Structure 1
Amino acid sequence: MRKVIDCTLTIAGEEEEVIQAATEHSVSVRGEVDTPEFRATLRTLLKDEVPQHA
Protein backbone atom coordinates (compact mmCIF):
# COMPACT_ATOMS: atom_id res chain seq x y z
CA MET A 1 0.00 0.00 0.00
CA ARG A 2 1.28 3.45 -0.89
CA LYS A 3 1.96 5.81 1.98
CA VAL A 4 1.57 9.57 2.27
CA ILE A 5 3.20 12.22 4.45
CA ASP A 6 1.99 15.79 4.33
CA CYS A 7 3.59 18.96 5.70
CA THR A 8 3.88 21.87 3.28
CA LEU A 9 4.79 19.27 0.67
CA THR A 10 2.78 16.10 0.05
CA ILE A 11 4.90 13.04 -0.70
CA ALA A 12 3.34 9.74 -1.79
CA GLY A 13 4.85 6.41 -2.77
CA GLU A 14 6.27 3.25 -1.28
CA GLU A 15 7.11 3.62 2.41
CA GLU A 16 10.90 3.72 2.06
CA GLU A 17 10.71 6.17 -0.86
CA VAL A 18 8.47 8.48 1.15
CA ILE A 19 10.75 8.37 4.20
CA GLN A 20 13.81 9.06 2.03
CA ALA A 21 12.18 11.98 0.22
CA ALA A 22 10.70 13.44 3.41
CA THR A 23 14.06 13.18 5.15
CA GLU A 24 15.87 14.89 2.27
CA HIS A 25 13.24 17.65 2.20
CA SER A 26 13.40 18.15 5.96
CA VAL A 27 17.19 18.32 5.99
CA SER A 28 17.55 20.66 3.00
CA VAL A 29 14.58 22.96 3.62
CA ARG A 30 13.91 22.80 7.34
CA GLY A 31 17.42 22.27 8.73
CA GLU A 32 16.62 18.93 10.40
CA VAL A 33 19.34 16.36 11.04
CA ASP A 34 19.07 12.93 9.42
CA THR A 35 19.17 10.50 12.34
CA PRO A 36 17.49 7.13 12.94
CA GLU A 37 15.34 8.84 15.57
CA PHE A 38 14.20 11.50 13.11
CA ARG A 39 13.29 8.85 10.52
CA ALA A 40 11.37 6.94 13.20
CA THR A 41 9.41 10.10 13.97
CA LEU A 42 8.61 10.54 10.29
CA ARG A 43 7.32 6.95 10.17
CA THR A 44 4.76 7.81 12.86
CA LEU A 45 3.38 10.49 10.52
CA LEU A 46 2.80 8.14 7.57
CA LYS A 47 -0.76 7.50 6.50
CA ASP A 48 -2.20 5.11 3.96
CA GLU A 49 -2.89 6.85 0.69
CA VAL A 50 -6.59 7.25 -0.11
CA PRO A 51 -7.16 6.55 -3.80
CA GLN A 52 -8.67 9.46 -5.71
CA HIS A 53 -11.56 8.55 -7.98
CA ALA A 54 -11.96 10.36 -11.27
Structure 2
Amino acid sequence: MGRKFVDCRAFPSQMNCSIAISADSEGELLEAAVQHAVAVHGHQDTPELRQQLKGIIKDGMPSEEAPSRAA
Protein backbone atom coordinates (compact mmCIF):
# COMPACT_ATOMS: atom_id res chain seq x y z
CA MET A 1 0.00 0.00 0.00
CA GLY A 2 1.44 3.38 -1.01
CA ARG A 3 1.03 6.81 0.51
CA LYS A 4 -1.98 8.99 -0.22
CA PHE A 5 -2.19 12.77 -0.07
CA VAL A 6 -4.49 15.78 -0.15
CA ASP A 7 -3.12 19.05 -1.51
CA CYS A 8 -5.02 22.04 -0.17
CA ARG A 9 -4.08 23.96 -3.32
CA ALA A 10 -6.60 21.74 -5.18
CA PHE A 11 -9.49 22.82 -2.95
CA PRO A 12 -11.10 26.27 -3.45
CA SER A 13 -9.89 28.65 -0.74
CA GLN A 14 -9.91 32.40 -0.19
CA MET A 15 -6.58 32.13 1.66
CA ASN A 16 -4.77 30.20 -1.11
CA CYS A 17 -3.56 27.63 1.41
CA SER A 18 -0.56 25.61 0.26
CA ILE A 19 -0.67 22.82 2.86
CA ALA A 20 -0.33 19.22 1.66
CA ILE A 21 -1.11 16.30 4.01
CA SER A 22 -0.07 12.69 3.42
CA ALA A 23 -0.72 9.42 5.22
CA ASP A 24 -0.51 5.66 4.72
CA SER A 25 -4.28 5.14 4.81
CA GLU A 26 -7.24 6.99 3.34
CA GLY A 27 -9.03 6.97 6.71
CA GLU A 28 -6.12 8.58 8.55
CA LEU A 29 -5.66 11.11 5.76
CA LEU A 30 -9.35 12.00 5.68
CA GLU A 31 -9.42 12.65 9.43
CA ALA A 32 -6.36 14.92 9.23
CA ALA A 33 -7.76 16.78 6.23
CA VAL A 34 -11.12 17.31 7.98
CA GLN A 35 -9.34 18.64 11.07
CA HIS A 36 -7.36 21.06 8.89
CA ALA A 37 -10.46 22.21 7.00
CA VAL A 38 -12.34 22.87 10.25
CA ALA A 39 -9.51 24.45 12.29
CA VAL A 40 -7.83 26.51 9.57
CA HIS A 41 -10.55 27.20 7.02
CA GLY A 42 -13.61 27.35 9.30
CA HIS A 43 -15.57 24.61 7.53
CA GLN A 44 -18.13 22.49 9.35
CA ASP A 45 -17.44 18.75 9.60
CA THR A 46 -20.27 17.53 7.39
CA PRO A 47 -20.78 14.50 5.13
CA GLU A 48 -20.57 16.89 2.16
CA LEU A 49 -17.15 18.21 3.25
CA ARG A 50 -15.90 14.65 3.73
CA GLN A 51 -17.12 13.70 0.22
CA GLN A 52 -15.37 16.73 -1.29
CA LEU A 53 -12.15 15.86 0.51
CA LYS A 54 -12.38 12.21 -0.57
CA GLY A 55 -12.66 13.49 -4.14
CA ILE A 56 -9.24 15.18 -3.99
CA ILE A 57 -7.33 12.32 -2.34
CA LYS A 58 -4.53 11.17 -4.64
CA ASP A 59 -2.06 8.29 -4.57
CA GLY A 60 1.62 9.05 -4.02
CA MET A 61 3.18 12.26 -2.79
CA PRO A 62 2.28 15.89 -3.62
CA SER A 63 4.02 17.60 -6.51
CA GLU A 64 5.84 20.88 -6.09
CA GLU A 65 3.61 22.30 -8.83
CA ALA A 66 0.19 23.53 -7.82
CA PRO A 67 -2.66 21.31 -9.02
CA SER A 68 -5.71 22.78 -10.72
CA ARG A 69 -8.21 24.10 -8.19
CA ALA A 70 -11.59 22.36 -7.98
CA ALA A 71 -14.56 24.44 -9.01
| TM category, shorter | 0.7 to 0.9
Pairwise CA RMSD of aligned residues? 1.0
Structure 2 gap ranges (5+): 9-17, 62-71
How high is the TM-score relative to the length of structure 1? 0.83
How high is the TM-score relative to the length of structure 2? 0.65
Which of the two has greater helix per residue? 1
Matched, 1:22 2:22: no
1:12 to 15, 22, 35: 22
Offset at residue 10 of structure 1 (A): 1.0
- The total of aligned residue pairs comes to 50
Identity across the alignment (%): 42
Offset at residue 2 of structure 1 (A): 2.1
Matched, 1:32 2:16: no
Q: Deviations over 1:6-44 (max 9, x none)?
A: 112111111011110010011001000101111011000
